[in-house]
Structure 1
């Protein structure tokens, strides 16, 4: 059948691709056309334009893998990052645990050395940029993953062996990031399994086994799952077995409630994409930060967690300027004090360059006292109620579906390139 149908079938068997999020896909495996478009888009939006970082890259060459442009002999020299103790970055880090949202290992290392960044996350766009950086480490990750799968998957079908290589590649990148940060690395289960609890659990356990065999304790790893009913139930089972999870693609209150009640270690709500949806559906185009629908929704989740003493961490990601261009820090400032945030380098740079006062906006005790939401009867939401309430929330329904489709598309691009490499 079609490549898409084949990929879906492989995923259901425990095959298919792994997307590492550390959210994330992997740095070296998207098609050249896709990567070129990404690089152009990132250049246009200023990604990588951190004023305090200077880098030089040399000696790129074309990989033997069709559709990839890599550089096995490239070298990068980057200056140290200087951050004032009076900066907004320092102020924010004093109240909220910060992650850097990038797949570039050098940037992760240098920001981690400032003492203000403890974790690292990524997404397909940032990771693809890392793949273009010309770092031989990424090529080594791919080569080792292919060798590992050919050895361990001897006698398996091609789909199953490629899937193992994808899993191994995810772990290779993740274990490298663990060396650079003190906190978590998040590895995302194949998004094509977002509606398959059993296979999600199986794949998550395989990922954890490989991490532990590589010397990375499970306490350092968050298994990333979409906030579908099946993803939430997979998380519930994994958490009971000591495998901690990051519930992603959270766009509405009901997803956060279910995640907390089922025992998620962490959720990743997306205030910026929530704002996007409301603006596209007749909402105010430049709201004050405190009235930004994404800020309001995330603050509500945080308050609910605190009121009912759920241990789930609230780590917003994906940011937009509430008031438009020039106000890129609006949502971040409005949510200062939440448990964690993950921020891309350009926003970290803006925070580092500003010495404006940054007061705490979210306080656990005050949030709990102000929360007007009630706990679900019995403290445990059922499937029918979850599905109905999710259906009634247009933003959550549409944005989660959009997010899953995007992750699936990138996963299948990555899988195609890895399959060609596997056959070489």
Structure 2
């Protein structure tokens, strides 16, 4: 049994890719995408049919050039999601425009639009997760969307305050970014040898796991953004783990045995949950974590940049 096969016995494996051929190869339960992955796939000739369909849709709807670009962009994300869903049994995570990350109402409007696009194309929308950055505004949007039956994946999660606020709001799933937490800390100790036991990204997820299971929160924890196989194996037993194609290939080629590291059955539970964080409490606690503040801002900037690049590409096609 290779490591990927063994990992699937402990954890639900998710592929982090917009490449449909790659997703088919590794046979995951779910798949996640983001603006960076969508941009990369959109530029590939083999997915021209998705771009062409999106352009035709935008032209049919009409409106100003700006409106056409927005409609085409939304349809590109949905188009990739539709194709990916044909090859997986579970969820597809589709991320909305990161430039809306501090506007609750606009996040809700965009999320409903994305879900309607899926529904109008014959997709069972219970299989679609809307990805939002884990800002206070997006967490509140996720709470309201949940009331409408729309499930969310809160991404770019770096601080324990973000994790607490997501649990308070009954968010369906969170994606703590293990690798990016690790990257930030490496800037200050780059000469140290790697140890998965002390990896700050791993420790962050383990802390969230214990907290969620202790207080019986239903929010799913999906470790994300890995840099090395050791990080993945150290989280064996996490609810879900989303993995890039290169690390999936490494897992597939290796047969070294490993054990389940996270086990909710070994955690004593409490029925009385902590008092939910208020907005001021959330902002204070999150801002006590310099890494989380920097990496959340950086992630939103990068996803916004890739969204703009996608729109430039679509403008030329229009």
TM-score by length of 1: 0.72
Provide runs of 4+ in structure 1 moved above 6 Å.
Answer: none
Deviations 1:175-200 (A, max 9, x none): 11000101111111110000000000
Deviation at 1:342, TM superposition (A): 0.8
Task: Say if 2:19 is the partner of 1:119.
Answer: no
Structure 2 CA distance, aligned partners of 1:360 and 1:294?
Answer: 18
Shift of 1:126: 4.4
Structure 2 match to 1:376: 274
Distance 1:148-1:170 versus aligned 2 partners, 3 A rule: same
Alignment counterpart, residue 237 of structure 1, candidates 144, 154, 162 = 144
**Structure 1 position 289 matched with structure 2 position 166:** no
User: Are the equivalent residues in 2 in contact too, given 1:337–1:363 (CA < 8 A)?
Assistant: yes
Structure 2 residue 85 is matched with structure 1 residue 178: yes
Q: Report the Cα distance in structure 2 between the residues aligned to 1:211 and 1:124, rounded to whole angstroms.
A: 17
| Structure showing the higher helix proportion among its residues | 2
Once the two structures are TM-superposed, the CA of residue 358 in structure 1 deviates from its matched residue by 1.6
Whose Rg is larger? 1
CA deviation string 1:355-388 (max 9, x = no partner): 211200000122x3399xx9532xx211000011
Residue 388 in structure 1 maps to residue 284 in structure 2? yes
- Matching residue of 2:15: 100
Whether contact under 8 Å (1:390, 1:396) holds in the other structure is: yes
User: Please, which runs of 5 or more residues in structure 2 have no aligned partner?
Assistant: none
The verdict on how the C-alpha distance between 1:170 and 1:129 changes in structure 2, with shifts beyond 3 A counting, is closer
Which of the numbers 265, 280, 284 marks the counterpart of 1:365?
A: 265
- Equivalence map 1:105-254=2 (5 Å): 105-112=20-27, 117-131=28-42, 133-135=44-46, 138-152=47-61, 154=62, 156-254=63-161
Provide the aligned length of Structure 1 versus Structure 2: 317
User: How many Å separate the matches in 2 of 1:401 and 1:196?
Assistant: 15
Question: In the alignment, is the contact (CA less than 8 A) between 1:250 and 1:400 conserved in 2?
Answer: yes
Tell me the equivalent position of 2:299: 403
Contact 1:303 1:370 (8 Å CA) reproduced: no
Structure 1 stretch displaced more, 258-267 or 142-151: 142-151
Change (3 A) 1:223 1:182: same
- SS for the counterpart of 1:290 is coil
